[in-house]
Structure 1
Amino acid sequence: MQKLTYKTIAAPLKVEIPKIKGSRFFATLFPIQSKQDADSYLEQMRKEYYDATHNCYARRCGVQANQDLFGNRTLSAKLQRSSDDGEPANTAGKPILSVITGEEVFDILVVITRYFGGMLLGVGGLIQAYTQTTKAGLEAIEPVYKPLETKLQLSYTYDQLSSAQYLFDKYECKIAQEHYSDLIQQKILVNLGYLEALKKELTDRQLTFL
């Protein structure tokens, strides 16, 4: 049983690298929680840098845990997208996304802004430039590690309250919603790494969950 966390960033950040054959490249990184967040930041960037030659980007939003046949867990993004914004196909957005994925950063939007300097870089040069700029941005962040949680719905009697509270403390559960009637009904947040162990103990103590 191991607590699952994922890496993200806490605040926006901007990093510029030295000019490459006269072209300026800088990375702007944003923490996001949804596609709408990303779209809003992209609109902001396009307005602020309306005179830039390109505003290429990649985003990864949402986190899901995957488990193989041996029980090993890996994390992947629920939604991800990239854009070359007018650069030759796969020379900008894909390299940006590749770096973010390789560094296992989630809930992030990276925009690389380019001001053309008069000299063509070629396909290989563009891939290298966008890769280098993305790496510079990620190297400058102070990563934040957030717990990967899921919701569980419980229903139990008042006599079982002490058992439920014991398990909440043991597995660091947080109550998201609760309702008291003939039964206690609660929605809790539990770390995905603790989920199966918690379910087993709930079953052993005859606490109903969905």
Structure 2
Amino acid sequence: MDREDRTVYEGGQGEIIEKKSRFIATVKPVKTEEEALEFIESLKKKYWDATHNCFAYIISGGTPLKRCSDDGEPSGTAGRPMLDVLEGESLSDVAVVVTRYFGGTLLGTGGLVRAYSGAVRAGLDASVLITRLRGIRLLIGTDYTGLGKIQYLLGQRGIKTLESRYTDAVELSVLVPDEEIEVLKQEITEATSGAAKLEEKEKCVFAMIDGEPVILEGK
């Protein structure tokens, strides 16, 4: 992954109706093409009686892997528009299947593109999307005199505390994006006149979920 990217933390399902045709979008986070293909096959089995099960997925890497299928719809009216929505949201490591139950009225090329695009957006609206960041867990040791200054600096950068311990001194554990670590350490050192103890711990990939920092991958 890049320094930061967007992905699906928790998949969801959305549905729209166009001229009595049902379009059901199911979204899932995936890490490999094998996972994506297994997910697609499971949906085809679940919705075996559907008119179409179109799909799109993007797997991150040096060169992202992108695949899509119209599954019998006119060429370019389903899979490509679905992929365009994922790309427009800058998402990776995600797969989506849009299941269509034909309602008896033809939608035309433009109508199909709008319907499949709209279904994917409905699926994403029902999912939890996150921005993954590469960073470092920083351990900050301070006395109570320096605590307020440190909390102010963290607040200015939108950095929330992962863990905290209060004894005769204070120990804070925070997740800091790679590009901010050196500047933050310098600011804390200057604000506390060198009294704060700073220790870089493990590198990790993290995200803010419901306003709280969550480690996704430790390295």
> Counterparts of 2:61 and 2:4 in 1: how far apart (Å)?
10
Matching of residues 55-204 of structure 1 within 5 Å: 55-64=53-62, 78-147=64-133, 170=200, 173=203, 189=219
> Counterparts of 1:172 and 1:146 in 2: how far apart (Å)?
16
Aligned to 1:182: none
Deviation track 1:73-121 (CA, whole Å, cap 9, x = no partner) reads: xxxx620100000000000000000010011011000110000000000
TM-score normalised per structure 1: 0.63
Q: Number of aligned residue pairs: give it.
A: 144
Query: Contact 2:10/2:129 (CA < 8 Å) preserved in 1?
Result: no
Which one-letter code corresponds to 2:54 in the other structure?
C
Deviation at 1:56, TM superposition (A): 0.4
Deviation track 1:30-53 (CA, whole Å, cap 9, x = no partner) reads: 100001001110110011000000
Aligned to 1:42: 40
TM-score normalised per structure 2: 0.60
Unaligned runs of 5+ in 2: 136-181, 183-198, 205-217
Q: Work out which structure has the larger RCO, using CA pairs closer than 8 Å and 6 or more positions apart in sequence.
A: 1
Aligned to 2:147: none
Deviation track 1:129-168 (CA, whole Å, cap 9, x = no partner) reads: 011111111223221222359xxxxxxxxxxxxxxxxx9x
Higher relative strand content: 2
How much is the aligned-residue C-alpha RMSD, in angstroms? Answer: 2.4
Query: Contact 1:63/1:106 (CA < 8 Å) preserved in 2?
Result: no
- Percent identical residues: 41
Query: Contact 2:13/2:122 (CA < 8 Å) preserved in 1?
Result: no
> Counterparts of 1:79 and 1:148 in 2: how far apart (Å)?
21
Which one-letter code corresponds to 1:142 in the other structure?
V
> Counterparts of 1:147 and 1:80 in 2: how far apart (Å)?
22
